[in-house]
Amino acid sequence: MSTAAVTDKRGGSLSGARLPKWSPWAIAAGSVAVAVGIGLGAGLGSEVQWGLIAAILFVLGTYGVAARVEGRRQAKDRVATSLVWVAFLLAVVPLVSLVWTTVSRGVKVLDVHFLTHSMGIVADTETGGGIYHAIIGSLEQVGLATLIGAPIGVLTAVYLVEYGRGRLAQAVTFFVDVMTGIPSIVAGLFILSLMLILELDPFGFAGSLALAILMMPVVVRSTEEMLKLVPNELREASLALGVPKWRTILKVVLPTAIGGITTGVMLAIARIAGETAPVLLLVFGNPFINTDPFEGAQASLPLYIYQQYAAGGDAAYDRAWAASLTLIAFVMILNLVARGIARWKTPR
Amino acid sequence: MAKRIDVSGLTAYYGSHKAIEDISMTVEPRSVTAFIGPSGCGKSTFLRTLNRMHEVTPGGRVEGKVLLDAEDLYGAGVDPVSVRREVGMVFQRPNPFPTMSIFDNVAAGLRLNGNYKKSELNDIVEKSLKGANLWNEVKDRLNKPGSGLSGGQQQRLCIARAIAVEPKVLLMDEPCSALDPISTLAIEDLIGELKDRFTIVIVTHNMQQAARVSDRTAFFNLAAVGQPGRLVEIDDTERIFSNPSVQATEDYISGRFG
Ligand SMILES: Nc1ncnc2c1ncn2[C@@H]1O[C@H](COP(=O)(O)OP(=O)(O)OP(=O)(O)O)[C@@H](O)[C@H]1O
Ligand SMILES: [Mg+2]
């Protein structure tokens, strides 16, 4: 038939030789084996080098094998796929290794005692003590910073997306961009200068103010993106029902974007929860339990980690790791909660 | 309940671009008026000036008068929000609120505008869904999201949402263009029923649809590309489709148009 003739002329049919499903794994295993061999033979000390050799061999090997068996187009496709996998592994390996190190070294002293006691009567060189005071400090400082930073950030984004026109909106966008780039120590110094003018001693809320400054631009940016994703048709549908603009924003636009907004706020919280510099300047650190963020120096988790690490000695290192684990767990729990809220809020 | 619309000398702009120029017409209460005309001639723009949705577009500006039973929609001190409660709108693409259930979608206009008791809302939602011929299909799943309905059902949901606030006028911008013939028929039947209670204006590209559902038909056209759109003529639908007074109308309807 004529179709057959056409197929013949183009020199192929729809099905060609294909590599079996398991071939990527085989190539990966092969390249790892060869990389280990090269590493041992050449006496390369670092596993990172082995890994890089294996990655390069994997990509090259994939291309070579696929080009022989399947042809050049499929080979390119497979190389693109394998590059994506390699990039994924390169990104995941440090992350997994970080979590693994923190967990394995952190669990050593992490127990109920550690979570419920302060360092008040324990010298940094002794064993024992805990992070209760630092948890209190972190929760209060980050909580207050969120109470200030998140609403201002979300409202700024609402202004920019729903109302902002012309000069003022441009100026706000510009300053938000500038604020995104402010190093945390500078935010700390800014509040510190105010404290010096007012002759105040370090206290938790001063740290919250600096953290709020750091948080706001992140919240504005992410919320802005989320609000822009809300289709204009929904706004028009609501306005056409005779709903005023502010209620439209409150009842239609924000609920539609709430999942993304929460995620953005959570990321911002995660960012400020790990800030050390402004806390060091403004809250100062305190081995005793101080539950009042408005009076007197407080501790915080990142600051605690820094101070324990600086103090040195096995007991202090163990505490630093355990505190790091707590901090990571705190951020992770927060993320899970946020996802839970977002999922609970979307209708099914 | 239904109200008459009197438009005189209406011109609408997008920024400096004049989209429609000097349009005057009367829309009779308790009737269906169809707008037809080539793409880009300003049917949607004109429709949106009738409930002050045009000014929602950045740069949107209107000159002229639109009288709703003798009250000028563009008069000083008129609140666009209250205009839109009188003049409802159904859009080309179904746009139910994705975060709300079917019930909440229909109740949205009422809920967002004031306090209603749950029992009152129940009655109004049921009545509106029945009015939109959707009640039987959704009565068992009122608490499921509106976005889970088919396109035609979503569009009827949007109609139910629009009539729930009891507007005097209902504007529809190509309400069937995303729908299959059966859903289209359902909505056309619905329009026939709704015209007893509302003044209805419908934009359509479907000549048969205009002929089937409307009492009067308005033909819009562009003088030339880049020129603002104008109203060519408005007349009883029968006359427009059998014996229009302007040659351009006949050309357009019989498909002899560029
Ligand atoms: N948001 C907007 N900004 C600027 N110009 C617009 C906008 N919307 C429409 N226009 C212009 O206004 C004119 C009329 O457009 P309109 O959407 O009213 O046409 P239409 O008759 O509804 O067309 P269609 O049948 O394709 O829906 C067109 O020239 C269009 O380019
Ligand atoms: Mg249109």
* Same domain, residue pair A30 and A123: no
Which amino acid is residue A327, in one-letter code? L
- How far apart CA B12 and CA B229 sit, in angstroms, is 10
Asked whether residue A278 is domain-assigned, the answer is yes
**A222 located within any domain:** yes
Q: Summarize pLDDT for B164-190 with one digit per residue, the tens.
A: 998 999 999 999 887 788 888 888 998
Beta carbons of A176 and A221 less than 8 angstroms apart: yes
A101 and A223 part of one domain: no
| ipTM, interface predicted TM-score of the complex | 0.91
Q: Is the pLDDT of residue B240 over 50?
A: yes
CA angle centred on A64, ends A60 and A70, rounded to 5°: 135
Each residue of A236-258: pLDDT tens digit?
999 999 999 999 999 999 999 98
- Please check whether residues A77 and A122 belong to one and the same domain: no
Domain shared by A168 and A305, yes or no: yes
Minimum Cα–Cα distance from B101: chain A residue:
A347
A325 and A252, same domain (yes or no): yes
Identify the pLDDT of residue B258. 47
Final residue belonging to a domain, choices A46, A78, A106: A106
Average pLDDT of the residues of chain A: 90
Ligand 1 centre to CA of B40 (Å) is: 5
**Residue keyed to tokens 């003049």:** B87
Residue B137, C-beta contacts closer than 8 angstroms, at least 6 positions apart: B153
What is the spatial distance between Cα B7 and Cα B164, in angstroms, rounded to a whole number? 26
**A121 and A101 share a domain?**
no
Statement to judge: residues A138 and A59 lie in one domain: no
Per-residue confidence (pLDDT) for residue A9, from 0 to 100:
42
Together in a domain, A43 and A137: no
Q: Decide which of A78, A106, A134 is a domain's last residue.
A: A106
Q: What is the pLDDT of residue B1?
A: 66
Do A97 and A20 lie in a common domain?
yes
Q: Name the pairing type of β-strands B60-68 and B5-14.
A: antiparallel
pLDDT of residue A348: 57
Please, how many CA atoms are within 13 Å of residue A196, restricted to the half-sphere of its CB? 7
Residue A4 domain-assigned (yes or no):
no
pLDDT band at residue A4 under the 50/70/90 scheme? very low
Question: What would the pLDDT profile of A26-36 be if each residue is shown by its tens digit?
Answer: 999 999 899 88
* Tens digits of residue pLDDT in A66-106: 888 888 888 899 899 989 998 998 899 999 999 999 999 99
The whole-angstrom separation of Cα A96 and Cα A92 is 6
A235: confidence class by pLDDT, cuts 50, 70, 90:
very high
Residue type, B93: R
Residue A294 belongs to some domain of the structure = yes
Q: How many domains does chain A have?
A: 2
- Does any ligand 1 atom lie closer than 6 A to the CB of residue B155? no
Q: Can you tell me the mean pLDDT for A326-338?
A: 89
The whole-number average pLDDT for the span B229-240 is 94
Both tokens of residue A103?
Answer: 């967990």
Report the percent of chain B where pLDDT is more than 70: 99
Cβ-based contacts of A241 with chain B (< 8 Å): 84-85, 88, 108-109, 112-113, 161-162, 165
Q: Would you say the CB of residue B40 lies under 6 angstroms from ligand 1?
A: yes
Q: Do B145 and A348 touch (CB under 8 A)?
A: yes
Contact: B101, A244; criterion CB under 8 Å? no
Residues of A in contact with B98 (CB under 8 A): 234, 256, 347
Taking a 5 Å cut-off on Cβ, the residues next to ion ligand 2 are B 44
Residue B99 C-alpha, separation from nearest chain A C-alpha, in angstroms: 6
Q: Say yes or no to pLDDT of A21 above 90.
A: no
A-chain CB neighbours of B56 within 8 Å are 235-236, 239
Asked whether the predicted pLDDT for residue A5 surpasses 60, the reply is no
The pLDDT of residue A296: 93
Average pLDDT on B5-12 reads 96
| A312 and A331 together in one domain | yes
**Do A13 and A23 touch, CB atoms closer than 8 A?**
no
Asked which of A83, A106, A129 is the last residue of a domain, the reply is: A106
Q: Write out residues 121-180 of A within 8 Å (CB-CB) of B.
A: 165
> In three state form, how does the secondary structure of chain B look?
CCCCEEEEEEEEEECCEEEEEEEEEEECCCCEEEEECCCCCCHHHHHHHCCCCHHHCCCEEEEEEEEECCEECCCCCCCHHHHHHHEEEECCCCCCCCCCEHHHHHHHHHHCCCCCCHHHHHHHHHHHHHHCCCHHHHCCCCCCEHHHCCHHHHHHHHHHHHHHCCCCEEEEECCCCCCCHHHHHHHHHHHHHHCCCCEEEEECCCHHHHHHHCCEEEEEEECCCCCCEEEEEEEEHHHHHHCCCCHHHHHHHCCCCC
- Residue at B28: amino acid letter: E
| Residues from chain B contacting residue A345 (CB–CB below 8 Å) | 99
Range of A26's domain? 16-106
pLDDT tens digit string along A115-150? 999 998 888 888 989 999 999 999 999 999 999 999
Once rounded to an integer, what is the mean pLDDT over residues B137-163?
92
The CA distance from A266 to A335, in Å, is 6
pLDDT, one tens digit per residue, over A282-323 is 999 999 999 999 999 999 999 999 999 999 899 999 999 999
In a domain, A141, yes or no: yes
Q: Which of B201, B218, B234, B199 is nearest to B4 (CA)?
A: B199
CATH number at residue A151: 1.10.3720.10
d(C-alpha B230, C-alpha B11), whole Å: 9
Same domain for A156 and A258, yes or no, is: yes
- Beta bridge pairs of residue A88: none
- This prediction's pTM: 0.85
Q: Which residues pair with B202 in a beta bridge?
A: B34, B172
3-state secondary structure chain A: CHHHHHHHHCCCCCCCCCCCCCHHHHHHHHHHHHHHHHHHHHCCCCHHHHHHHHHHHHHHHHHHHHHHHHCHHHHHHHHHHHHHHHHHHHHHHHHHHHHHHHHHHHCCCCCHHHHHCCCCCCCCCCCCCCCHHHHHHHHHHHHHHHHHHHHHHHHHHHHHHHHCCHHHHHHHHHHHHHHHCCCHHHHHHHHHHHHHHHCCCCCHHHHHHHHHHHHHHHHHHHHHHHHHHCCHHHHHHHHHCCCCHHHHHHHHHHHHHHHHHHHHHHHHHHHHHCCCHHHHHHCECCCCCCCCCCCCCECCHHHHHHHHHHHCCHHHHHHHHHHHHHHHHHHHHHHHHHHHHHHHHCCC
Sheet strand arrangement including B199-203: B71-72, B60-68, B5-14, B17-27, B229-236, B216-222, B32-36, B199-203, B169-173, B87-90
Residue A6 located in a structural domain: no
- Tell me if A8 is assigned to some domain: no
Domain presence at residue A284: yes
> A162 and A94: one domain?
no
Average pLDDT, chain B: 92
Average pLDDT estimate for B116-130: 92
